[in-house]
Structure 1
Amino acid sequence: MALVGYARVSTRDQHPEAQTDALSAAGCEKTFTDHASGTLARRPALDEVLSYLRAGDTMVVTKLDRLGRSVRNLKQIADDLQGRQIGLRAVSQGIDTTTPGGRLFFHMLAAIAEHDLIVERTHDGLAAARARGRKGGPKFKMTPNKIAQARAMYDGGQHTVQEIADTFGVSRPTVYRHLTDRGAASAAEPAQ
């Protein structure tokens, strides 16, 4: 079982020594270092370390944000490691997937990643609908024509608000809202 380190610094200006020193102190026999932004899809040293690791090894990083571009990407990497029976340890965060507590953390991470994915897909769907001129939300049950009919029924004094609501298949608050929206007096219901 080998401890193998992975360090990443965002730009060429940053120095990886703080990370590599922490990884050496954690017992890493070998460390791979990337000089690239975390948002880049291609990180050669990460590809190299993932190829180097064998079942029973543990990949060590100083912090999880050094490893994944996003929660979802981090989960994908962790799932790949777990499937290959490779542990993952984040030194400064005290996370170690070779322990029950570390595995619990990654189950919670999976739930967060799934939630983020659902939110992202929802936003994408809403943006696509807006681009096609559609608005979100439910369709209104009370069309302008139905509102005019409801107003006439109300103003005639022959129907209660409940009867008007039943006629159009809506609730009493919906009838009141449309009567009030159009400037109608929100007087009490007519006597039955």
Structure 2
Amino acid sequence: MRIGYGRVSTRDQNPDAQEDALTAAGCDRIFIDKASGKLASRPELDKALLTAREGDQFVITKLDRLGRSTKNLLELSEHLRSHGVTLVVLDQGIDTSNPAGRLFFTIIGAIAEFEHSMMVERTHDGLAAARARGRVGGRKKALRPRQVELAQRMYDELGDDGKRKHTVQDIADELGVARTTIYRYLERA
């Protein structure tokens, strides 16, 4: 039996191209995860691995769809091999049923991990360069310092009955933010 596995990194990505390629490759069952390769929990991969039996082929479109690190790829490959299942990678032409395929798999896995590491390093370098130029990444603050002061004053203000004059919802409505934002800023103060 040919078992196909595909993965997209985010919910926004579409797995149709992978599914079409796996169907064209003659896969009897296809499992698709919508999760980051770094996540330990990939339920469809777990199902696919449990489905695989001795003599089966485990088919993926690209090596990076199975995992991001060489260690993880090698562990999965070893798991498949120990259960008598061969790994077939369509785009790279890898078939681990022979020694040359196993060697090529290991080399391609190492290159994929290196490529990912270089991308991460370039991202960190770019962020450091931006910080050096005074640009700070991340989400903008929901409230400016003056608004935080106003929120705190409104929150602390008591009515004639000794109870709070303004509810957190009143403060949030006044400043145009969610209640949770007000709570977050009040906790910091």
**TM-score > 0.5, shorter chain as reference:** yes
Decide which structure has the larger Cα Rg and report it. 1
1:60 counterpart residue number? 59
Classify the secondary structure of the residue corresponding to 2:7: strand
Q: How does 1:1-192 map to 2 (within 5 A)?
A: 2-106=1-105, 108=107, 112=110
d(CA) in 2 for partners of 1:63, 1:7:
9
Residue 106 (structure 1) shift: 3.8
d(CA) in 1 for partners of 2:39, 2:106:
25
d(CA) in 1 for partners of 2:90, 2:66:
12
Classify the secondary structure of the residue corresponding to 2:19: helix
d(CA) in 2 for partners of 1:68, 1:107:
13
Give the alignment's TM-score, normalised by structure 1. 0.55
d(CA) in 2 for partners of 1:107, 1:9:
22
Classify the secondary structure of the residue corresponding to 2:103: helix
d(CA) in 2 for partners of 1:65, 1:97:
16
Structure 2 runs not aligned, ≥5 long: 115-189
d(CA) in 2 for partners of 1:55, 1:17:
28
Letter of the structure 1 residue corresponding to residue 7 of structure 2: R
Give the alignment's TM-score, normalised by structure 2. 0.56
- For these two proteins, the number of residue pairs brought into alignment is 112
d(CA) in 1 for partners of 2:106, 2:31:
27
Kept in 1, the 8 Å contact 2:7–2:35? The answer is yes
Identity of aligned residues (%): 53
2:162 counterpart residue number? none
Residue 98 (structure 1) shift: 1.4
Classify the secondary structure of the residue corresponding to 2:78: helix
